[in-house]
Amino acid sequence: MEAAAHRTATHCPYCALQCGQWISPSGEVDARAVYVKEDSPSGVGGMCQKGWTSSALLTHPHRLTSPLVRPSRGAGFVETDWGSALSRVATKLAALRAEHGPDSVAVFGAGGLTNEKAYLLGKFARVALGTSQIDYNGRFCMSSAAAAGNRAFGVDRGMPFPVTDLDDAELVVLAGANVAETMPPLMAHLAAARLVVIDPRRTPTADRAIASGGLHLAPRPGTDLALALGMLHAAVVDGHVDPSYVDDRTTGFDDVWRVVSQWWPERAERVCGVAATDMRTVVRWLAGTRRRYVLTARGVEQHAHGVDTVTAWINLSLALGLPGRPGSGFGTITGQGNGQGGREHGQKSDQLPGYRHITDPAARAHVASVWGVPEPSIPGPGRSAVELLDALGRPGGPKALLVFGSNVLVSAPDAQAVAERLDALDLLVVADVLPGETASRADVLLPVAQWAEEEGTMTNLEGRVLRRRRAVAPPPGVRTDLEVISGLAAALGAPGEFPSDPRTVFDELRRASSGGIADYTGVSYARLDAGEALHWPCPAEGHPGTPRLFTDRFAHPDGRARMVPVDHVGPDEDVDADYPLRLTTGRVLVHYQSGAQTRRVTELAATAPEVFVEVHPDTAARHGLADGDLADVTSRRGTTTARVRCVPSLRPDTVFLPFHFGGPGAANNVTNPALDPVSRMPEFKVAAVKLEAAAPAAADRTRTTTSLPAHP
């Protein structure tokens, strides 16, 4: 291993904790020391298996290194040069726009893109293409929590306090979060706390809760809102509400109580299956503990009523006086590496940089002045992610799609329908590192750099802006996403400037965000490189940043948080005689998101090589199945073929699929694309399914090696 002096300090490419890591000049993660100095938010001296093995992707034999094009639809890929590839894309895009209008072209981004790439991609869509049709995979991850946070607090920052504040917590309620597998280093910050875990499954996080003297509450999938209502009822009736906090810092309690008064814990128990005594116990713990937090995650958000569900947990937290108090708080655990920054700077269909709304005249005027374009030329809001994918190739819908950093064929619900829409396009362009499922269907495939090969910034789950530093050069023939976007803008003759230098882009982002909710004006590469810890908003050069929000006031004009009345509504589809089980989905320790990266790492793939379905032994027996059998999990939309794992702790009415696999093993073959009316989040976490034995010939189809091509 090279001398320590030559190592580069950067951050893990995976989750929003953004653990620090050293990368050696050879591109390996330096195992002698994990980077845990001042700008490493984990601060615990360790990473999970994914982080330790991340360097395998830098020299992976399946790495894309040349632009690839199909001479015609259905033909195989052939290599070409960058000039020819970009010219082909630009010519086709220009022709489609001339014939069908600017919205005939769509862009799909990702929560893993750096702030600079997210910003420039949003600008590219609206200025170079003139399209309103841009959204990103963060719509699948944080949109419900974001909408609930904006509605209640006036601002959306996943954790409105530093993650290190959790180190001294005495009690932490994790609603729909399995951090022991999804974000393992975060568990070190929870080591001193009693945990309450709300999850239909007994996960490793739930085991930790039980070991800590806490509780594991296992509601039926799709009933978390009823559970939160029952707990708030208990808080009111048992005298645990903080009246001075409610009076001084909130509005809307009386309207909330008119709904909650109907949800006594015993009624909530009949709906969600959690004992009323456990609800009262958790409320008593929350009210009687000095340092306490409620944290939500995807388990309560990925529903057709996810915004209301998060709102119910916010209402409970506000009634007990948690948000903004020293040593207490409410927060949401962001998933993707730049899930926070990725939704702040314009790749979401209804947003402009700085977390401005695209319909706000003042916001439009400000951003237009930074971009140097007339304000009316900026299009209005477009379709959300699922709606955008569903519109592809349809009359009036986009005829071309550009994808940056997302594997929609695995990550989006109702995967078969997504495949049909991709095939209906006139042009599919994918910029990616490795040939995943979506990339392999592209008409033009552009090889791009990855985390250790590029400069930029990321914003982690606590709103802290971090420096991503280049440690090694990308392979010859590979360009950064910024260079690709800049090159396409030039080929299209776009107005304005589209620089490819990340520092230049970030300085423009700072100007565009100035005065917005997510104000980055005072954040600079120089300050970050000097080791300053800067949380947005940071509205001026000398500003220290804002690590803790809501200490004095919330972000609404009157400074008060909004308690919003919400009521329980069941899942979009319920079980019946044909589909008698409730499916829920989630992650496993060694894989990340669609698995396009982790399924290619030998050590990780060996640990979890194929998709499985968790089933209670009694449920398996009723369906003629045993541990290790191959089963078809079928919904009204499709089938996933998976290996049976009998899990005695699982609810008998529930089955579980991890969503990291593609092809016949894709969980999203069966998930429901029903959308939350506010956030447009799809209902990943509950679907009605049936369970049957699969044909023996299906066995090989579930292996991960068959669903990740070595070369497109």
Please give the CATH topology (third level) of the domain spanning 581-707: Barwin-like endoglucanases (2.40.40)
pLDDT digits (tens, 9 = 90+) for 460-486: 999 999 999 999 999 999 999 999 999
Please tell me the distance from the alpha carbon of residue 319 to that of residue 566, in angstroms, as a whole number.
14
pLDDT digits (tens, 9 = 90+) for 381-410: 999 999 999 999 999 999 999 999 999 999
**pLDDT on residue 698:** 61
Spans in the chain with pLDDT lower than 50: 1-3, 32-39, 703-706
**pLDDT on residue 705:** 39
Please give the CATH topology (third level) of the domain spanning 68-141+338-535: Rossmann fold (3.40.50)
**pLDDT on residue 26:** 78
Residue of 213, 209, 147, 150 lying closest to 175 (CA atoms): 209
Q: Give the Cβ contact number of residue 600 at 10 Å.
A: 23
**pLDDT on residue 47:** 82
Q: Which homologous superfamily is 143-332 in?
A: Dimethylsulfoxide Reductase, domain 2 (3.40.228.10)
**pLDDT on residue 33:** 45
Q: How far apart are the first and last CA of the chain?
A: 34
Residue of 402, 354, 357, 401 lying closest to 380 (CA atoms): 357
Please tell me the distance from the alpha carbon of residue 115 to that of residue 457, in angstroms, as a whole number.
6
Residue of 587, 651, 647 lying closest to 219 (CA atoms): 651
Amino acid type, 664: P
CB 336 within 8 A of CB 146: no
**pLDDT on residue 230:** 98
Residues ≥6 apart with Cβ < 8 Å to 98: none
Please tell me the distance from the alpha carbon of residue 184 to that of residue 691, in angstroms, as a whole number.
32
